[in-house]
Amino acid sequence: MKSYKEMSAQELEQQRQELMKLYEEYKAMDLSLDMTRGKPSPEQLDMTNHMYDSLSDSGFKSCKNEDVRNYGVPAGIEDIRKVFGDILGTDKDNIFMGNSSSLNQMFDGIMRAMVFGEVDSPKPWAQVEGRKWLCPAPGYDRHFRVTEKLGFELIAVPMTDNGPDMDEVEELVKDEKVLGIWCVPCYSNPDGIVYSEDTCKRLANMKTGAKDFRIFWDNAYVVHHLAEDENEWGTIPDMLSLCLEAGNANRVYEFASSSKITFAGGGISCFATNKDNMDYAKKILSVQAICTNKVNQLAHARFLPDLAAVKEHMKKHAAILRPKFAAVSGVLTEELGEQDLWHWTDPKGGYFINFYCMPGTATNIVSMCKEAGVALTPAGASFPYGKDPDDQSIRLSPSFPPVEDLLKATKILTICAKITAIDKLLEV
C-alpha cells in the first residue's frame, strides 16, 4: 500500500471516506473509554488490601519502640525511612516522610522557599522579580502548574534520549533569575526516558547564576520497571551524592512516594536532601505539623520491609501492566507502523506511552476521540502552559482500563490520526 505522502488527492479522499465510515461506526457504539491519567487499576490496588492486617496482628510499635498512634517522630519512623532510603540509594537520615502526596511535598518545598528562602538564599523567592523555572518538555503537567501558580515564568527545555538538553540547560541557568528545574529522571513522564549518568553529573556540576538554584528531582518511577529481566531495568546515580561531590550539596531535593506501589490515594511520600537543607526545612516543618501519619508508615514498613520486598511487589505490578502496554503498542504498530507520519515511545518502565502524531493534528485527534467516546489527556498538557508548539504530542495512559478497552480506544485513536493526517496533507 502507498504511503499517504505518495497518494494523490483523489486517493486520499477515498481513504478518508473509508476511515470516516469506520469512525461513525465506533461513534454509534456509545463508548466511554478513559486513557487520561496514569492510575493503577483495581487489580493492582487489590494486591495491597491486606497491608493493614499487621497492625492488629503485631501492634503499633516501631522498631524504636515508638507508639505510632501518638504524637512525635516528625521526620517519620526509621522503619520506613530505611526502606525509602534504599529505594532512592541514600541514607535513611536524608529522608523526611510525609503523607500520601509527593506533589504536596513539592508544592510545600517551593512555598517554603517563596516565604522564607532556602538555607543559602539571599532573600525569599517571592521577592525575586521575574523568577523563572526550567521545564523539560514534554514533561509532567502537574509540575508545571505548581510553578506557574506560584508566579514563575516557565521555560521549556527540549528533552533528548538522555534527559533534558544539557547544552541548553547550562546556558539558561547562567541567569540568576532561574531558580530551579523539574526533573523526572527515571522513566520520565511521558516519554519514559532514563537520564544518562553524564546528564546527572552535568546537572550536579553546572555553574548557576542563582546561588540557591534547586533541582526538584521527582523519582516517582524509580522502581516502576516493565521489563522482566532486571538487567534491563533503568538505573540512575544517587543525585545527592553527585551534588555533594560537585561541591553543590544543597542543590537537590529528591521526591518519591508509594502512590503507585500500594494505594494511590492512601500511600506515603518522602523528600530526601542533604543535612543543611534538612535541618533548615525541619525548623519550618515543626511549626506546620507535629507529625505525619505514622500508623500508615508502619503498615507500609511491615508490608514492604526492605528493598527486596519492594522489588518482588513491583514485579507483580509489571505483570499486570505489560499486557496493557503491549496492547496499545500492538494496535499502533498494526495500524500505523507502515507510515512515517507517526511514532511513539516504547518505555521500559513508568506509566505512559507518548504518541507523536503529524504536527498540527494533536488537538483535532483528541477532539475526535472525545466525540467517539475516548477520553485522552488534552493535547499540549505535557508542555508549559499546556501549549505544545508543534501540536503533535499526546500522552497515553494504559494502566487503568482493561485490555479490551485499550484495544478499542487505541483503534479509534489510529483512525482519528489517519483522518487528521489526510486533512493536513490535503491542505497543501
Find the mean pLDDT for residues 31-43.
Answer: 95
Q: Which of 274, 289, 305 is the last residue of a domain?
A: 305
| Residue 51 included in any domain | no
How many independent structural domains does the chain possess?
2
Question: Which three three-digit cell numbers place residue 188?
Answer: 520520565
56 falls within a domain:
no
Question: Do residues 121 and 34 share a domain?
Answer: no
Instruction: Name 187's bridge partners.
Output: none
- For residue range 110-151, list pLDDT tens digits in order: 999 999 999 999 999 999 999 999 999 999 999 999 999 999
Domain annotation covers residue 133: yes
300 plus 319 within the same structural domain? no
pLDDT at residue 2 greater than cutoff 90: no
- Are 97 and 164 in a shared domain? yes
All three cell numbers of 173, joined, read 541557568
* 272: pLDDT strictly greater than 70: yes
* β-pair partners for 96: 271
Q: Is residue 49 part of a domain?
A: no
At 296 the three-state DSSP class reads: helix
Residues 219 and 198 in one domain: yes
Which of 305, 328, 358 is the last residue before a domain boundary?
305
DSSP string for residues in 376-396? EPPTTTTSGGG--TTS-EEEE
Predicted confidence at residue 147, as pLDDT, reads 98
Residue 22 and residue 66 in one domain: no
* pLDDT bracket for residue 428 (50, 70, 90): low
Q: In what order do the strands lie in the sheet with 153-160?
A: 95-98, 269-272, 252-257, 214-218, 178-183, 132-137, 153-160, 163-164
pLDDT of residue 402: 97
Angle separating helix axes 9-27 and 403-427, nearest 10 degrees: 150
Residue 382, pLDDT above cutoff 90:
yes
* Same-domain status, 178 and 296: yes
Does residue 253 lie within any of the structural domains? Answer: yes
Please say if the pLDDT value at position 28 is more than 80: yes
Instruction: Look at residue 339 in the predicted model and tell me its pLDDT.
Output: 87
In this prediction, residues 91-118 reach a mean pLDDT of 97
Confidence check: pLDDT of 238 > 90: yes
pLDDT for the residue 1: 75
Q: Which domain holds residue 322?
A: 4-44+312-427
Same domain, 150 and 226: yes
What CATH number did the domain enclosing 167 receive?
3.40.640.10
Which position has the higher pLDDT, 56 or 202?
Answer: 202
Rounded distance between C-alpha atoms, residue 335 and residue 33, angstroms: 19
pLDDT, tens digit (0-9, with 9 covering 90-100), for 392-415: 999 999 999 999 999 999 999 999
Looking at this protein, which amino acid is placed at residue 249?
A: A
What confidence category does residue 256 fall into, taking pLDDT thresholds of 50, 70 and 90?
Answer: very high
Q: Kindly report, residue by residue over 273-309, the tens digit of the pLDDT.
A: 999 999 999 999 999 999 999 999 999 999 999 999 9
One domain for residues 279 and 355? no
The verdict on residue 137 lying in a domain is yes
pLDDT(158) > 90: yes
The predicted model gives 223-249 an average pLDDT of 97
- Does residue 205 sit in the same domain as residue 127? yes
pLDDT above 90: residue 6: yes
Same domain, residue pair 168 and 254: yes
**Contact indicator for 409, 33 with CB cutoff of 8 Å:** yes
The CA radius of gyration of the chain, in Å to the nearest whole number, is 23
Mean pLDDT (the chain) is 97
CB 249 within 8 A of CB 213: no
Is residue 54 situated within a structural domain? no
Give yes or no: residues 208 and 261 share one domain: yes
pLDDT digits (tens, 9 = 90+) for 159-202: 999 999 999 999 999 999 999 999 999 999 999 999 999 999 99
Residue 50: inside a domain, yes or no?
Answer: no
Q: What is the mean pLDDT of residues 53-72?
A: 96
CATH number for the domain harbouring residue 409: 3.90.1150.10
Cell of 74: 516528625
pLDDT grade for 97, boundaries at 50, 70 and 90? very high
**Whether residue 40 sits in one domain with residue 82:** no
Confidence category of residue 335, pLDDT binned at 50, 70, 90: very high
